[in-house]
């Protein structure tokens, strides 16, 4: 023992970082070890997790789900009104919102404001007060976009007469949908619902949508994975940065638009609208990712995550092996950069379906391809690279269709495995915008957030019970 204490002190610190700091101050050689007990320290959940690790049924199911994800070929095939693309919207007053299910009473300000705007847009009410009363009284059905193979950014609102992008997975024929990106400023997705917003929505339905439908018809089809892959090589991560992807889309769309013999003034307005918005491709990126994740859904016993989404209050996930079941927890705060004059107290909780991009292995998972994104969400280029590497620890594999130049063209980590998240306490990272908590103020910043661990712990327990039931059947 005397010999031991005469040697230089070398310590591995597990637990509070302050312990390591104290030892370092007195000259100790300290290696901090970041470790947390599996399943957030829940003993029963830990036992469920242990039963699922390397379980042959789960391993086989994950390989099936992951292969279906990799094989998906999302292609832009059409533009349709929502009531035509989603038959349920033609049968009743239905408005879709982002994230997991939530009642009107519990919704955040931006989502409520956007729903009021959608009711006014549809002509179901003529005043804001009447529209709000309709929603409060349950005269309008409110359901998640994900329940209808759809996604929408921020508030995520889709109402019956809104135009939608129609994406078809050529591998299985299944379709996915998203609304159009409105641009910046006062927009419905942030809860704005004044005359300017409504007039823009009407123009998008009456002039933009027919032009884009004609252009897509002229193109025939547009494969989206190759375009997204190229954008990753040009500095996008196709979630919070879509400048390159939007430019690539314009190169394909504009010649088709010119071939459609549209009135020159309409063509000018359409082109000006698209080119003024670097995020125009975002909704296509989200829909392509939704198409890929839908392909992986509903594989019994799979622990692969097929949905991550937020409604401004809660964060929700779905697992392939548990069908339509949601697992929810309060949304984590967003750490990032705020626009001048705004701060944490002004921000709504994390919001939107756009985390479907991270679910599919891009967005935050592909930050290494987009060093410029850190100027918008905070951190350094090294942080972006490290985030992409960390995600390899919680995924089933990698997607060779999406490669990262900064990592020597390594494929993006993909196929989030809920078991690995619960076991290693490494949370899926998400790039996101920050919305003001009041309807209509708009975006007040951007940053990085993570999915809450408890969603994955709850999902693991439910999956373990399903696997046990399957074994005994």
Check residue 286 and give its pLDDT.
98
53 and 94 assigned to the same domain: no
Taking residues 411-420, report their average pLDDT.
98
23 and 48 assigned to the same domain: no
Residue 292 lies in a domain: no
**Residue 262: CB atoms within 10 Å:** 18
Taking residues 402-416, report their average pLDDT.
96
Query: Could you tell me whether strands 150-151 and 141-144 are parallel, antiparallel, or unpaired per DSSP bridges?
Result: unpaired
Residue 465 lies in a domain: yes
Check residue 439 and give its pLDDT.
85
87 and 57 assigned to the same domain: no
268 and 342 assigned to the same domain: no
pLDDT surpassing 80 at residue 25: no
Residue 291 lies in a domain: no
Q: pLDDT-derived band of residue 4, with 50, 70 and 90 as boundaries?
A: low
Q: Print the domain residue range for 467.
A: 43-68+297-472
pTM for this prediction:
0.93
Check residue 64 and give its pLDDT.
98
pLDDT surpassing 90 at residue 106: yes
The torsion defined by the Cα of 376, 377, 378 and 380, in degrees rounded to 10, comes to -80
Instruction: Kindly list the distances between the CA atom of residue 84 and the CA atoms of 52, 81, 97, 149, in Å, as whole numbers in the listed order.
Output: 42, 5, 18, 14
Tokens 């078991």 belong to 419
pLDDT surpassing 70 at residue 16: no
Span 190-223, pLDDT tens digits: 999 999 999 999 999 999 999 999 999 999 999 9
pLDDT surpassing 80 at residue 21: no
Instruction: Kindly list the distances between the CA atom of residue 4 and the CA atoms of 1, 9, 28, 314, in Å, as whole numbers in the listed order.
Output: 5, 9, 14, 52
Distance CA 160, CA 68 (A): 31
Provide the number of structural domains found in the chain. 3
């Amino acid at each position: 023992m005397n010999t031991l204490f005469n040697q230089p002190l070398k310590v591995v610190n597990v637990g509070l970082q302050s312990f390591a700091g104290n030892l370092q101050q007195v000259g100790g050689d300290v290696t901090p070890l970041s470790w947390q007990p599996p399943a957030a320290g829940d003993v029963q959940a830990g036992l469920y997790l242990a039963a699922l690790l390397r379980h042959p049924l789960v391993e086989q199911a994950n390989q099936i789900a992951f292969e279906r994800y990799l094989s998906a070929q999302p292609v832009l095939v059409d533009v349709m009104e929502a009531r035509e693309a989603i038959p349920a919207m033609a049968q009743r007053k239905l408005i879709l919102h982002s994230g997991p299910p939530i009642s009107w009473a519990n919704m955040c300000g931006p989502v409520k404001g956007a729903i009021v705007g959608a009711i006014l847009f549809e002509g179901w009410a003529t005043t804001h007060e009447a529209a709000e009363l309709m929603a409060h009284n349950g005269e309008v059905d409110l359901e998640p976009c994900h329940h209808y193979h759809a996604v929408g950014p921020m508030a995520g609102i889709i109402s019956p007469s809104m135009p939608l992008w129609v994406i078809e997975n050529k591998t299985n024929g299944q379709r996915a949908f998203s609304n159009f990106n409105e641009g910046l400023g006062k927009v419905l997705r942030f809860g704005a619902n004044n005359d300017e917003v409504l007039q823009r929505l009407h123009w998008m339905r009456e002039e933009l949508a027919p032009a884009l439908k004609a252009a897509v018809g002229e193109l025939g089809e547009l494969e989206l994975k190759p375009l997204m892959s190229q954008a990753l090589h040009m500095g996008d991560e196709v979630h919070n940065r879509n400048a390159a992807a939007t430019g690539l889309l314009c190169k394909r769309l504009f010649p088709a638009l010119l071939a459609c013999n549209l009135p020159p003034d309409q063509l000018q307005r359409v082109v000006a609208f698209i080119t003024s918005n670097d995020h125009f491709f975002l909704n296509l990126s989200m829909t392509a990712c939704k198409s890929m994740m839908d392909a992986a859904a509903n594989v019994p016993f799979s622990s692969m995550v097929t949905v991550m989404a937020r409604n401004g209050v809660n964060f929700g996930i779905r697992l392939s092996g548990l069908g339509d079941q949601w697992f929810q927890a309060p949304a984590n705060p967003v750490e990032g950069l705020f626009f001048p004059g705004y701060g944490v107290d002004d921000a709504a909780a994390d919001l939107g379906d756009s985390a479907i991009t991270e679910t599919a292995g891009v967005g935050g998972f592909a930050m290494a391809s987009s060093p410029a994104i850190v100027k918008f969400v905070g951190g350094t280029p090294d942080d972006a690279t490290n985030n992409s590497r960390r995600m390899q620890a919680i995924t089933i594999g990698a997607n060779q269709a999406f490669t990262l130049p900064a990592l020597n063209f390594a494929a993006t980590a993909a196929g989030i495995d809920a078991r690995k998240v619960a076991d290693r306490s490494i949370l899926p990272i998400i790039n996101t915008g920050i919305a003001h908590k009041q309807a209509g103020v708009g975006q007040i910043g951007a940053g990085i957030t993570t999915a809450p661990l408890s969603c994955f712990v709850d999902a693991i327990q439910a999956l373990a019970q399903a696997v046990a039931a399957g074994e005994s059947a």
